[in-house]
Amino acid sequence: MQNPSGIKLCCLFLVILFTFTPLSSQAVEEITFTASQPLHYHQPRIIVPILTEAFRRNGIRFKAVPYPSLRSLLYSNTGASDGELHRVYDFHKVSGGKYPGLIRIESEMLTIWQAVFATQEIKFETWNDLKGYRVAYTRGRINMQKILHQFLQKKQIVVANSDTHAFKMLSDGLIDVVVSESRLGDSLLAGRSHFSNIIKITKVHPVRIYSYIHKKHHQLAEEIATSIEKMKQDGSYAKIVRAVNNSSRL
């Protein structure tokens, strides 16, 4: 006859084991991140192959799926997807802590520049110089939303559904200024003749971009960050960035 005390001790040991033993990355076979931009845009084209290689080094398949920015956040924050492809370094600060399900992967993916675009030369030295203009930014750019609302009246700010939508409104004279990614804006202007009346006024400031993973994969956050840092050391990270930057595709 089995000893009841021994059975209880065995069950207690198993509960403790499964409670305090972190989930191995090997238990995860595939990871899906959502992206707030089409995958052929500049940021995803750099980040997707970097994360693909970083997860591969941990025995995990990686893929990314694009969605509108706020929907992407909804999926990644609730755990419907496994993470967010690209957000700013201080995302939790600028979003007011509204997305607690996301953990930053502590290795910088890239630095981008925001830029000001218009159809005529305007002065821009500080954000205050945009007072009096109708300014558009793309929905879901939470950091830009916060900046513009600090300096401009609500009636001056226009939220576009996409960067292309913002530039079309600018070209059509419905707004005066677009604030967008510098490289992305350049690509849109170069690829569409009906944007030929738009010029880039100036770069504004650099923005550090990171990937975020859902907290259910908290251990993976450290492992993937370590893999990315190793990629930066062995040259594979630079090779990916160089290949994308040398390509003329958007």
Q: Is 32 helix (H, G, I), strand (E, B) or coil?
A: strand
Rounded Cα distance, 84 and 32, in Å: 9
Parallel/antiparallel/unpaired status of strands 135-138 and 102-104:
unpaired
**pLDDT at residue 247, rounded to an integer:** 78
**pLDDT of amino acid 15:** 38
pLDDT in tens, 40-91: 988 999 999 999 999 999 999 999 999 999 999 999 999 999 999 999 999 9
Let me know the angle formed at the C-alpha of 197 by 193 and 203, rounded to the nearest 5 degrees.
105
When pLDDT is averaged across residues 102-120 and rounded to a whole number, the result is 97
Q: Which residues contact 204 (CB under 8 A, 6 or more apart)?
A: 113, 114, 115, 116, 124, 179
**The pLDDT of residue 101 is above 90:** yes
Which range is least confidently modeled, 3-12, 46-55, 102-111, 144-153?
A: 3-12
Q: What is the pLDDT of residues 235-249, one digit of tens each?
A: 999 999 999 988 754
Query: CA angle 220-224-226, nearest 5°?
Result: 120
Output the pLDDT for position 248: 52
CA–CA separation, 91 and 225 (whole Å): 17
Q: Band the pLDDT of 14: cuts 50, 70, 90.
A: very low
pLDDT tens for each residue of 159-211: 999 999 999 999 999 999 999 999 889 989 987 889 999 999 999 989 999 99
The pLDDT > 70 percentage for the chain reads 88
